[in-house]
Structure formats: structure tokens, C-alpha cells
Structure 1
């Protein structure tokens, strides 16, 4: 019933930009709950708000408070899933880079669920979206992702269950980038980028 009135959703998005922490957090978590239960409907409504609305939500990924950034990652994990229009808007506003920044800040916390959430955001942005594949490989995003795993993979013999999950997600991202369902040009470009990063990894090892 709540989302039948689009203005209600517009108001929640506005509240995510409030200066008061409690209001900002409550609005972010409420929006995530709505997305979880009514994903496609909420995606369509948020698209009506336009880039201003997405800018407010993307700003949460750079919030000064870590707890808000973590909540924002969970929100984007659902928000971008299976929607090309949203994926195109947020990648154009450096969503990959913002998520990678959060990921790198968690580098020393293997068992932190936020790492897994960040990887899911990246995977959801890439699945069935060739333009995003080009953008991800054409910028320094893929190198940044490889760099996150590189040192830990070299140094550690025993991995936690969550780390195994994270590495599996990393491999899923690679598989998505080099999928044979894409155009030949895209495949070659992504394969070259993957090969380049693997060679650097092997050299450092």
C-alpha cells in the first residue's frame, strides 16, 4: 500500500540526504526493505525521480559514517539488480569506484560481510550488461579489484568460509566479463584486461 503513492517513495529518497544520522539511517534501511519486497516496482518509481534522486543515493556510498556506507552498499545490491536503466545511470556516476573504495577500506577484515555485499553490487552491475563490462575494464576498476585480492591470496594458506565465498564471487565477476555470449570485440578487450592482471599477479607471486 505504501508504494502505491509514488510521493511516499520520493519522500523517503529525500530523507536519505538529511543531516540527522538517525533520519538518514532509518530512511536508507526503510528504502532497502521496500526494494527487497517490491524490487521492480521500487526501481520503476526511483527511475521517475531521475538523476537527482540517484545522486542522493550514491552520495550515501561516500557518507562520513561507515555504518551509513555499509547500509548503502546493501541498498545498491538490490537497487541495480536486473535493471539496465539504473545500472547505466549509477555507473555513469562512478558507482564502481565508490564501491571499490569501500571494499579497499575493508581490506584487513576478511570476515566482514560488507566485502561480500560490495562484490555482489559489482556482479549485479556487470551481469548481462556489455556496456558496463567495457566501462569496468576500460577504467582501472578491474585492476583495483584484482589488487584487493592479490596480497591475501599470496600470503594466506587457510581461508575462512566467508573468504572462500568472496573469492568465488571474484571468479564469477571474471567469468561474467569474459562470457562468450558477448560480442567478439567485448570478449577480446575483457580477456586482455584479465590476462594483464593475472600476469601481474603471477609476477608478484
Structure 2
């Protein structure tokens, strides 16, 4: 079996959904978390000089999206066929579009501008994103409650993780019915439940 080492900082960020995916897959991995000072020393040795980075038997895989898809394909979390994988890609792309607004909010230093961004995300961007996700679920869940197919995928975990992290910056609204059901299904997955209990907030 390959040895997996996920490298990131001591925070959730872009690595958290990858941690979740590996955990749900039942795959042991080294969760290497760099202090900022340590990272400056290690940085020149990491492809593209950025994190997260996944090391598989010594081979480096950079870029969070590529890592997440790699893990999804490796452990059956990326759909059972091309149609399901495509739906998952649609969810990932939609999420990346929304994340641009969240990242802008996170890095804004001017308090007045930050307040405007919070209002826009909370009142406009977030409801629109949730409605898109609800529509995707209505069109594709087939009564199973997941975005694609009959079991949990990286798309389900990605949305769950994003809402978990965004909820620390803005007030989350009540989720639409199907999306709310999805969030509960992800949270109640046995391995995910155990992981969240260990991790805490």
C-alpha cells in the first residue's frame, strides 16, 4: 500500500477537505502541519513552492484541486461513471467560483470594505450559491441525497467543509431542504463523525 503524507499549515484551509476524503476512505496518512517559520525553510523543496501538497511514496502532487481529485479517483469518491464524475466537477467548479468571494473577504484588511464584503457574501453571493447547489441536488440525487450516485463523494465533502469554514466568517442561512439533508448525511457518515469528534471545532 502507498504511503500518504499530506502537507499543509496547522489550520483547515484548503487541506481540510483532503483530510476528510482520506479519512472517509479509511486511508491512513501523515498529517504534516508546518509552522510558518518551518515552512520558509521547507518551501524551496516543495513543487510550486506552495501548500497543500500530497506526497505518495515520495512522489509530490501539488494543487489542492488536483490532490482532491486524485484522492477521489483512488478511493472511489469521484463517481461511478463519467456522468457522475461530471456532476462532481460541476459542484467543484461552482464552489471554486463562490470561494473567490470568500477568499477576498478573508484577506481584506480595510474594516469598512470588509463589512461591505461580508454583507455581499451573506445576503447575495451565499444564497445564490446555495440555490445552485439545491438545484443540482434536485436534478441529480436520484433520491439518494448525494450530489452524484448512491454514496458520498468529494463534492459532498467539499460543500460540507466550505460551509463549516464560511460559517466562521458570516452567518449561515437555513439550508434549502435537500442541501440541509446532504449536510446531515455527510456529518453522520461514521468515519466523518469520528473525525469531527476528534477534531473539534
Give the TM-score range, shorter chain: 0.3 to 0.5
With a CA cutoff of 8 Å and minimum separation of 6, indicate the structure with the bigger relative contact order. Answer: 2
Bigger share in helix: 1
Bigger share in strand: 2
TM-score, length-scaled by structure 2: 0.33
